[in-house]
Chain A
């Protein structure tokens, strides 16, 4: 756990990009520790997500359609929560504390599910609190990753973190199904084990992730809300923010893609839960290699090329390819898309945000992307209803291609120099 090159945080003026990337250092210990925290936490949360429908229907006799969450509202609320968490972490320079409280809140929510019983109000409140916890912790965590290693290693650092995070997401559902196999209908066991994992994540965070105490930052005046709101005025940051939001707006949600896949193949419902696991496996395998490549060739290239993966998914769904080859193609392309865009965006955006506003800046990027994606799913659904599934998919592919062309110009090759 104790790795070299840990806390040699870059100063905002270091010309790291100009140094030859010949000598590779080891991954910062903080990054590995945060990866371990995310791995354990994702096991915890995905365990619960996987069994929630079974629990609601079979154990509580509730109708899950009653929990038809207003997804738009949730995206809005979690954007606000994420920005608030990021800003608070910046202002106090207490990234670990803010992230830790998010992790702790989500862990407690697993116990909350045990005690909420069949009350829809209590269950809704617990699930909402869980989402708040997730919203609060994301930006400070990504800020800690971006502040804990040299700028030239950011792609690899986020790659390592996302690979570990996705490993947890992959193991969680498997663990939950295995537990229900061992102990039939013992949902309390799933929640309790999930709580243990969640709590262990908090322990790992406090034991192995140091709270930042950068003298350079604490000496300068703390970040203000006004300064955060002025962040988009910085051209280099604005370009990344606009690009991320635009590409979010022309994206297609993976839920939709799975739905199209199912309709095309008349896929058995047994395999539904396995589809996300398939793309997660690809994501996990590619996150580190693509992150390293991003450090070498610049993050812009994998970020933009990754979207070609998504475009590829739309196109293969039009192809006459039969069942299994089509499914494998979709999952591989989708996993590649996530591996090349998710962590890479943070590595792309991190360096253009001043250190004292890093968490809030990354929160802005994530929120811009999330709001774009939400609008995209509304538009996709509307096109499907108005015309047809094929028309919606064709429009999405055309929009994505146009958005990518535009993004090429929005995001210049050397954002820092042309700022």
Chain B
């Protein structure tokens, strides 16, 4: 093509190509602006007047699942978690660069405090008392091997207002020794009733560990290998978590429950690969999200926490389950 065209004709052809591609891009973008605007939900719904299972629906709205079907709140979240006394909602704010916000909500689902940070929302938890809030985000561009991802986990003490944006400064003991490495990542924090003890996953050198942390002492101690996204049961005796059972990227995980006292480890009846921080519905049941029919969609399922029974679908096109128990 090059030798047959004069410089002027070539310039014309390039200008034409640019115009066509630009027009295509602009039209496509304009059509995408404003699609998928979610309908407004009810702002009268509160944790006080609506107990039960809360989920994030496909359009991003948080909904309470009652006997009469789901009732949507006015909240839009990427990740949501409610405990008896409060809730936390992770949202993203577009911008250059985009930001993530952790919004701490009171029992009326009104914002109490907002923390802004970078990264992509992944996990969120609020302690049983509602005092401690924790979250995990994915960040990229800081890992030593370019193009890969790492995580950042933060903790907010809503009583004192003390904020820890990155828990990686915890004094970590691994295999009985102090441990520090550039690739240490924390994710999936879950708090105990005393608002001081917590459990989390630590990953380093391709392995994951369950760590028990002490907030006041600012230490963490590895308890066990191959534990991800721990979730402490309401009675504080067991941890539901995802365990890597296969190498590679297809169906790597299976939900397990670990008894902290006896160290007994029980695979749950859910055999599909679960990539979620499970939520306890009561002392005998956990809920989690699994990929749904459509691309990127998910459904919320539950299964008994003792390895018996069968998984039950609780909600279609939903994620981020959490139980707002009646007190």
Contact = CB atoms under 8 A, between A and B. Distances in A.
Given A179-B29, A255-B143, A273-B141, A268 B117 contact: yes
A269 B94 contact: no
Contact of A206 (B1, B144, B166, B180): B1
Contact of B291 (A59, A61, A67, A272): A61
Interface residues of A, number: 78
Contacts of B143: 255, 259
Q: Which residue, of A52, A124, A193, has the highest number of chain B Cβ atoms within 10 A?
A: A193
Contacts, number: 202
A188 B96 contact: no
Interface in A261-300: 262-263, 266, 268-276
Nearest to B203: A65
A206 to B, nearest CB: 6
B119 interface: yes
Given A204-B14, A269-B118, A273-B118, 8 more contacts: A53-B140, A57-B120, A57-B138, A67-B149, A69-B147, A256-B144, A273-B141, A381-B181
Contacts of B146: 71, 253, 255
B250 interface: yes
A243 B206 CA distance: 33
B296 interface: yes
A381 B182 contact: yes
Interface residues of B, number: 72
A101 to B, nearest CB: 15
A59 B145 contact: no
Interface string A182-202: 111110110011001101100
B296 A49 contact: no
Interface of A: 1-2, 49-50, 52-54, 57-69, 71, 117-118, 120-121, 124, 173-174, 177-186, 188-189, 192-193, 196-197, 199-200, 203-204, 206-208, 210-211, 253, 255-256, 258-259, 262-263, 266, 268-276, 377, 380-381, 384-385, 388-389, 392
B300 to A, nearest CB: 13
Contacts of A197: 21
B147 A177 contact: no
Q: Is the interface of A mostly helix, strand, loop or mixed?
A: helix
A180 B32 CA distance: 10
Contacts of A203: 14, 17-18
A177 B94 CA distance: 7
B148 interface: yes
B131 to A, nearest CB: 23
B295 A118 contact: yes
Given A66-B252, A183-B33, A388 B28 contact: no
